[in-house]
Amino acid sequence: MLDKNLIGKNFSASAAGYDQHAQMQKTMADRLFEILLNYELQLNTVLDIGCGTGYLTRKLAERFPHARIEGIDIAPGMIAIAEKIKLDNLVFMVGDGENLTGQDYDLVVANAALQWMSLERTFDRVACLLRPDGHFLFTTFGPRTLIELKESGFNVNEFPRTNEIEQLLKAEFDTVFLATEVEPQHFPSVKDLVYYLIRLGAQTSSQEKLFRPEAFRHYKERYSDGRGGVSASFELIYGVFRRRG
Ligand SMILES: C[S@@+](CC[C@H](N)C(=O)[O-])C[C@H]1O[C@@H](n2cnc3c(N)ncnc32)[C@H](O)[C@@H]1O
């Protein structure tokens, strides 16, 4: 069970340094944006769930100046930074992706955020938020994400497989596009990897589990990258679904 108070608190605490450390999330947002442009959708209303500091939200507002673009995030600290982006067609709000109300959105996006939410509850909300034939575009993380940490005995969240995602969406959505890729990332040490995750707000487990020395030792021995550091895998999932009419 995800502790939403803790998630909001951790992301608020890491908001100031987030943009500096979230290169992978930005790359995911850029790729998702490219995928979106392939579909040449007519957009009047767009919602970005878990918008963070507004990187993707801003790109959407600039590319679609006649559409109303809304970004919501559970962390007030993230929204405070996003609100510094001043564009006429852009609004930000604190909100929980699992409990959103509203209707007739043409597009709902979520970049690198769904892993912090109950997929069942959020997908159910997205189906209500979208108009018939509206699109849901997202990226999230698959089960090969941080397998090295998990295998070394660290506490790692469970990540869904693409077929589980499809299964959850299939009652209300048609699959337009669904793909995964595994991206290796390099870190100078296991400690740097753990601090990277903490700086991104990505820790929900107790600190003493994160800092078990034998887990550090195992990781370092088993997953050395041959250049003095360690490697870590991230399985990135890209999805485009259309709400059935
Ligand atoms: C890794 S960040 C990604 C932020 C942004 N989408 C990006 O691409 O940079 C995940 C975001 O999801 C937000 N989040 C987590 N749980 C949420 C929830 N239940 N509702 C809304 N936002 C949530 C966090 O506060 C955080 O800003």
Supply the DSSP symbol for 115: G
- Give 98's contacts (C-beta < 8 A, 6+ positions apart): 117, 118, 121, 122, 125
Distances (CA, A) of 206 to 6, 123, 129, 151, 158: 11, 28, 35, 18, 16
> In the predicted model, what is the mean pLDDT of residues 124-147?
97
Pocket test for ligand 1, best of 20, 51, 96, 98 (most atoms within 8 A of CB): 51
**Calpha distance 80→84 (Å, rounded):** 7
Residue 196 — pLDDT band, cuts 50, 70, 90?
Answer: confident
Domain range annotation of the chain: 4-143+157-182+235-243
CA 228–ligand 1 middle distance (angstroms): 32
pLDDT value at 207 more than 60 = no
pLDDT bin (cut points 50, 70, 90) of residue 203 is low
135 neighbors 106 (Cβ within 8 angstroms): yes
* Alpha helical stretches, state H, the chain: 4-21, 23-38, 55-63, 76-82, 119-129, 147-151, 162-169, 190-199, 207-210, 213-222
C-alpha 240/C-alpha 177 separation (Å) is: 5
In the numeric block, which tokens belong to residue 237?
A: 């999932």
Residues with CB under 6 A from ligand 1: 4, 7, 11, 22, 25, 29, 49-52, 55-56, 72-75, 78, 96-98, 111-113, 116-117, 200
Per-residue pLDDT band for 208 (boundaries 50, 70, 90) equals: very low
pLDDT 10s digits, 34-85: 999 999 999 999 999 999 999 999 999 999 999 999 999 999 999 999 999 9
Contact 47, 105 (CB under 8 A): yes
Average pLDDT estimate for 181-208:
79
Strand order from edge to edge, sheet including 90-94? 90-94, 68-73, 45-49, 105-111, 130-141, 230-243, 173-187
Fold adopted by 4-143+157-182+235-243: Rossmann fold (3.40.50)
Determine the Cα–Cα distance for residues 68 and 173; give it in Å rounded to an integer: 23
Distances in whole angstroms, Cα of residue 221 to Cα of each of 109, 152, 190, 232: 39, 10, 10, 13
Provide the mean pLDDT of the chain.
93
pLDDT-based confidence at 112, cuts 50/70/90?
very high
Yes or no: say if 75 and 8 are a contact pair by the CB < 8 Å rule.
yes
Dist. CA 16–CA 156, nearest whole Å: 24
